[in-house]
Structure 1
Amino acid sequence: MFLVTSKAVVALLFCSSFTLAAVEEENFKNPVCVQIGASISSSSDVYYPGHPLYIKGVSHWASSSSQVAKCVVEPGTATDIGIILGILGKNRTPFAVKGGGHATNPTYSSTTGVHISIYRFSKVLYNKGSQTADIGAGLIWDDVYAALEPYGVNVVGGRVSGVGVAGVILGGGYSWKTNQHGLIVDTVTAFELVKPDGKVVTVTKASDSRLFSGLKGIVTKFTMRTFPQTKVWGGMILVGTENIAKVTAATAAFSSKVTDPKAGLITAYNFGLASSPFQDFRNPQISLLLFYDGPNPPRGIFDAFMTIPSLLNDVSTKTFASLIKGFPTDSTLDNRSIFCSLSVLSLTPSFLNAVLNETNYWGAKLTPKSGAFISYATEPFLPSIYSHNKDSTAFPPVRSKGFLPVNIFYSWTNRAFDEEFYKAARASATALSNAAKAEGQSVLGLPVYPNYAMFDTPLENMYGSNLPTLRSLKSQVDPQNVMALAGGWKF
C-alpha cells in the first residue's frame, strides 16, 4: 500500500514531456493566461511550460492525473483567486484547482486550460484562546502536524504522509482520531472561501449554514478545532504470505471487539511490485498500520498483531508527526493509479477472506501486464464515528449507520492498460459488495467515501438524500456555472 521512490527522477522524466510544449509557448502565450498575469497582484505569479514551477504545479502523485495546461497560476491571496475566477468565468476557460495533488481521478485536479495551484496558502496559525488553528489549503498534513507539535496540540487530519489538506477535508476525511472526534470535516469551524462570483467570504455555521455544509468555490483556509496531543504509539508492520491468516483473524477480532476510541488500524492486502525489498511479485503480503493515541496502548488491544512473525516492524512510541512520516505514499516511477471503493458494515473473517481472494485473483491477473501494484485497505472504526456531529455535511448523508470504507488501489505503468485496470477495479468492488451481502450485511445504499470513489461513481452513491440540497445550493451560489469549468464531481 505504501510505495517509496525518488520524486526527483519522476520530475525529470515529467519535465521531458513538456519540451515541445515549451518551444510552442515561446512564440505563443495563451491570452487568458496573459490577462490573468496582468490583473493579479505581485503576491501571485503565472508560469508557462518549461518553467520549473510549472512542472511542480501540474505534477500529481499519480502520473495519470497530470495534464499539460496552458499555464500554471500560483495565487498568493484570496482576492487574486477572485480575480482569476472572474476572468475564467467571463472567457469560459476550463481550469483546475490543485492542493496536494493526491487525487487519482484523471482531470479532477488537472486541466488543459488554466491550472491553479494553491501552494502559497501555507500558513498554520494556532490560537490558544479559541483552541483552534487556521490552516492554509495549500499544505500537506505533514506540515500541519509539525507546525502544531511545539504547542502540544493537534487536529483531526490525514493518516499518511504527503496527502493534501484541502482534498481530504472537503471529501469528509477519515483520521486516526475519527473514533474520538468524528470525520475531519466535523472539526472545521470556519472556511475562508472564494465564491464562484469572486467574492471572498468567511463561512461559518452561524453566517450561512447551507453553504457551510456544502461548499461551492475555492477554499483557501480552514479553521479547525485543536486537541491536546501527547506522544503516540504505532507504526508499520509488513507480514508475509504464510501469516496472512493470522492477520485476518486479528483484524476481524479488532474490528468487532476493540472499543477504545484511541485505537486505530488499517489492514492492507497487497500484491505486486513495490519498492520494499520484502515484496514478492508472485504472492500477496499485508501491511499493517497500527495507531494508539497515547505513549502506550493498554494490554490486549494489539497483542495479536505484535506476536505475528513479520518481515518489518517499526512500531514504537513516537511523536505524531514522526508516525505520519513513517507512513509514506510516494508513488512508483511514472505510475498510473486509481482508487475505487465500497462501504460495508463489518469486517468479518469471511469478508476479509473475500478481500484476500480478490487480491490474489486480480494480483495474479494484472501484475504481469504492466508492472502493477494493487492494494485493498480495510479500515475498522467504531460504529459511533458519525454521531460526533449533529449538523448536516455533504458527506455522509447518513449518520445513523457506522459503515466502514474499503479502499481498492491499483497502480500500473502503461497507459494502454488504463481501461482494463478501471474495469477490474469496478468488478472487484462489485464482487466484494456481493460478498458482504451474501453474509447478511445490509450494504445496499451505504454511502461511498468521495475521496476513494472512482470518477464514474454516481453522485447518489456518495451524497444520497443530500443531493437535491447540494444541487439547489449549487444553482444559488454558482448561477453562472463557473465551477463546471473545473474538474471534479458535477452537481
Structure 2
Amino acid sequence: MTLLRSLSFAVISGLIGLSASTDLIRTRRADYTATCQAIAAAVSSASKVYYSGSSQYTKDNEHWASSGSQTSACSFEPANAQDVGIALQLLGKDQTPFAVRSGGHSPNSGFSSTPGVQIALFSFSEVVYDANAQTATIGMGLIWDNVYSELDKYGVTVVGAKTTGVGVGGTVLGGGYTYLSNQYGLSVDNVVSLELVMPNGTVASITSSSNPDLFYGLRGGFNNFGIVTTVTMKTYTQSQVWGGRISYAAAQWDVVNTAIANFVSAVTDPKACVYSTTDYASGVVAIMTILFYDAPTYPNGIFNELLAIPHVDEDISTRAYSNLIQTLPANASSGLRAMFHWVPIEQFTSSMLQMVKNQTLFYGKELSQSSGVLISYDLIPFLPSLYSHSNTPSAFPSSRDAGQGYSFIEVYYGWTDPNDDNVMLQLGAESAAYMKQFAVDAGQNVSNALIYPNCAPPGTALADMYGDAVSSLHSIRSAVDPGNVMGLTGGWRF
C-alpha cells in the first residue's frame, strides 16, 4: 500500500470513526430526550421539563464556574418530593445520566451537571421557622443569602456558608464552614432532619433516631443516597454583628501577615473570626480581609492591629449578619473555569504566612504563562475545638479528626481555556502538596488530616476525604440503592 493510499485509508477510517461517534452521541441524546419526555408525562402538572432555547433551561444549567457546566438533554424542575421520586425511578429504568443542582457552585465537571437530565431544585425555596423547636426547614433550591435574609425577620440564623451566591445543598451535605463555626460547629453538625427521596422513589424524613446510618452518611456524603429536598437545622439567636471587609495593597502584605499571626496566637474568643484572602491577577496583588465579631461591638481591641494598617478600602460596620455575608461575594469571578484545593493547618505562624506569600507570587507568575486569570490563597483560621460541637458522628468531618479541628488554606485558581485544565489542576495540586509538607516539616500534625470534600479537586481519592469510613459509607449506599441509580449522577461516589 503506497503512502498516499495509507493516508487516504487513515483519513477515511477516521471519518468513519467520527461519523460512528457522532451517530452514537445522537443516539444517546435521543435516548436521554425520551427519558425527558417520559418524566414530563409522568409527573404532576406543577413540575416542569424544559429544553434548550428556553430561559429556564439556561438558568437550570448555569453554574458559577464554566468548568462545572455541561449541556443537558433537558432540565427538570420538580415541584414536590413525590415527583422527584417518579423521576428517579424513570432515570434508573432508562439508565439515563442525571445531575442535581442546588446552587451550582461546584467547579468540578459533572458534579452537578450532565449530558442527560439536569434536575434543578429551584421550586424547593421555602424557609419555615419553628420558634418552639428553634429550627428552620430550608429548601435545597435556595442560596444562603435568601435563607439569612428570611431568618433576619425572626432574629435568628443558621450555620450555612460564609459567602454570597452559595447553594444550600452542597453546604449541608458536604460540611459547611462559616463565621459561626467556632461557636456552633459546621453546617452538618446542626442538621436535625432531612427529607430524602430514595432511589426507589420513597420519600422519608431522616433523623438520628429514625435512620442513624443514613443520617450519618448524608451529613458529608452528598447525594450518594438519594436526593435531599429540604433540611431542618438548628437556629440560633442572632443580634447585629460587627465586621466587614478591609483591603490592603501589596506593600502592606508583610505587616498584614504579622497581624494575622498575632491574632490567631492570642485570640481564643469563639465569637471572633478573621478570614484573609490574597488575590493575584495579571501581576497585581490585592489583599482582602474579613473581620467578624458576633455582637454589635468587638471587645478588648482584638482587631486594632489589623485596623491600624494603612488600607485602600474599608466596608466595616455594625450590621445584620445577612448583610455581612454580602461583603465577600463569591460571584465576582463567575464564568471562569476553576478549581479548589484545601490544605489543613494547625496554626498560622509567621513562617507559614510567609510561605503562602511566596506560593502566591510563584504560582501567580506560573499561571500567567497560560490562560490563568486569577488565583487566591485564602487563610481561614479556626479554634481547635471546631469539630467538637456534635455528639452525632457524620461522614465528614470524620470521627478520626474529631479531637482536632483544623484551620486551612483554601486554594482557588481561575482560567479561561479548557485546554489548560490539566496544567491548572496539576499546578494547584503541586502547590497544595508543598504547603501541607511545609506544615508537617514545621511540626504541625496534619499529615493524616482529611481533605474537605467541597474543596477537593477532581480525582481526589475517597480515602483522602473520608478515611476509614469509606467502606461503611459504601455499605450504606448499597443498602439504600442496590440498583446504583445514584451512580448515574456525578460527584464523589461510594
Q: TM-score, normalised by structure 1?
A: 0.91
Give the C-alpha shift of residue 420 in structure 1: 1.1
Q: Sort the Cα spacing of 1:25 and 1:394 in 2 relative to 1 into closer, same or farther, 3 A.
A: closer
Separation in 1 of the partners of 2:395 and 2:31? 42
Identity, % of aligned pairs? 43
Q: Sort the Cα spacing of 1:240 and 1:124 in 2 relative to 1 into closer, same or farther, 3 A.
A: same
- In the other structure, the counterpart of 2:202 is 199
Separation in 1 of the partners of 2:32 and 2:217? 36
- In the other structure, the counterpart of 2:227 is 218
- In the other structure, the counterpart of 1:420 is 423
Say if 2:480 is the partner of 1:486: no
1:227-250 deviations in whole A, cap 9, x for unaligned? 111111111111111101111111
SS of the equivalent of 2:368 reads helix
Q: Sort the Cα spacing of 1:62 and 1:331 in 2 relative to 1 into closer, same or farther, 3 A.
A: farther
Map residues 34-433 of structure 1 onto 2, 5 A cutoff: 34-215=37-218, 216-272=225-281, 281-332=282-333, 334-397=335-398, 398-433=401-436
- In the other structure, the counterpart of 1:19 is none
1:451-475 deviations in whole A, cap 9, x for unaligned? 1111111111111122121111011
CA contact (8 A) 1:248 1:349 kept: yes
Give the C-alpha shift of residue 368 in structure 1: 4.7
Give the C-alpha shift of residue 445 in structure 1: 0.9
CA contact (8 A) 2:29 2:116 kept: no
CA contact (8 A) 2:372 2:413 kept: no
CA contact (8 A) 2:64 2:335 kept: no
Map residues 440-479 of structure 1 onto 2, 5 A cutoff: 440-479=443-482
SS of the equivalent of 2:104 reads coil
Give the C-alpha shift of residue 418 in structure 1: 1.2
Separation in 2 of the partners of 1:297 and 1:346? 23
SS of the equivalent of 1:322 reads helix
Give the C-alpha shift of residue 331 in structure 1: 4.2
SS of the equivalent of 2:331 reads coil
Separation in 2 of the partners of 1:424 and 1:27? 39
SS of the equivalent of 1:298 reads coil
Give the C-alpha shift of residue 285 in structure 1: 2.5
Unaligned runs of 5+ in 2: 1-26, 219-224
| More off after superposition, 367-376 vs 259-268 | 367-376
| More off after superposition, 131-140 vs 246-255 | 246-255
Give the C-alpha shift of residue 101 in structure 1: 0.4
Separation in 2 of the partners of 1:161 and 1:224? 19
SS of the equivalent of 2:243 reads strand
Give the C-alpha shift of residue 284 in structure 1: 2.4
CA contact (8 A) 2:29 2:73 kept: no
Unaligned runs of 5+ in 1: 1-23, 273-280
1:439 to 430, 437, 442: 442
CA contact (8 A) 1:376 1:409 kept: yes
SS of the equivalent of 2:75 reads strand
Separation in 2 of the partners of 1:485 and 1:478? 11
How many pairs were matched up?
A: 461
CA contact (8 A) 1:25 1:48 kept: no
Separation in 1 of the partners of 2:214 and 2:28? 40
Separation in 2 of the partners of 1:285 and 1:489? 33
SS of the equivalent of 1:427 reads helix
- Higher CA-based Rg: 2
Separation in 2 of the partners of 1:291 and 1:323? 8
1:76-133 deviations in whole A, cap 9, x for unaligned? 1000000000000011111000100000111100000111000110000000111111
Give the C-alpha shift of residue 337 in structure 1: 0.8
SS of the equivalent of 1:214 reads helix
CA contact (8 A) 1:25 1:49 kept: no
CA contact (8 A) 1:158 1:175 kept: yes
- Whichever residue aligns with residue 159 of structure 1, its letter is K
SS of the equivalent of 1:334 reads coil
CA contact (8 A) 2:32 2:96 kept: no
- Whichever residue aligns with residue 91 of structure 1, its letter is D
Q: Sort the Cα spacing of 1:26 and 1:49 in 2 relative to 1 into closer, same or farther, 3 A.
A: farther
Give the C-alpha shift of residue 405 in structure 1: 2.5
CA contact (8 A) 1:36 1:84 kept: yes
Give the C-alpha shift of residue 371 in structure 1: 4.8
Separation in 1 of the partners of 2:334 and 2:83? 35
- Whichever residue aligns with residue 264 of structure 1, its letter is C
- Whichever residue aligns with residue 313 of structure 2, its letter is L
SS of the equivalent of 2:310 reads coil
Give the C-alpha shift of residue 369 in structure 1: 2.5
Separation in 2 of the partners of 1:123 and 1:208? 25
Separation in 2 of the partners of 1:332 and 1:184? 25
CA contact (8 A) 1:157 1:176 kept: no
Aligned structure 1 segments of 4 or more residues deviating by more than 6 angstroms: 24-29
SS of the equivalent of 2:242 reads strand
- Whichever residue aligns with residue 191 of structure 1, its letter is L
Separation in 2 of the partners of 1:424 and 1:471? 31
Query: CA RMSD for the aligned pairs?
Result: 1.7
CA contact (8 A) 2:76 2:117 kept: yes
Q: TM-score, normalised by structure 2?
A: 0.91
- In the other structure, the counterpart of 2:17 is none
Give the C-alpha shift of residue 350 in structure 1: 0.9
| More off after superposition, 68-77 vs 390-399 | 390-399
SS of the equivalent of 1:411 reads strand
SS of the equivalent of 2:289 reads strand
Give the C-alpha shift of residue 201 in structure 1: 0.2
CA contact (8 A) 1:343 1:446 kept: yes
CA contact (8 A) 2:64 2:334 kept: no
1:388-428 deviations in whole A, cap 9, x for unaligned? 11211000112011222321000011112111111100000
Give the C-alpha shift of residue 43 in structure 1: 1.6
Separation in 2 of the partners of 1:259 and 1:382? 7
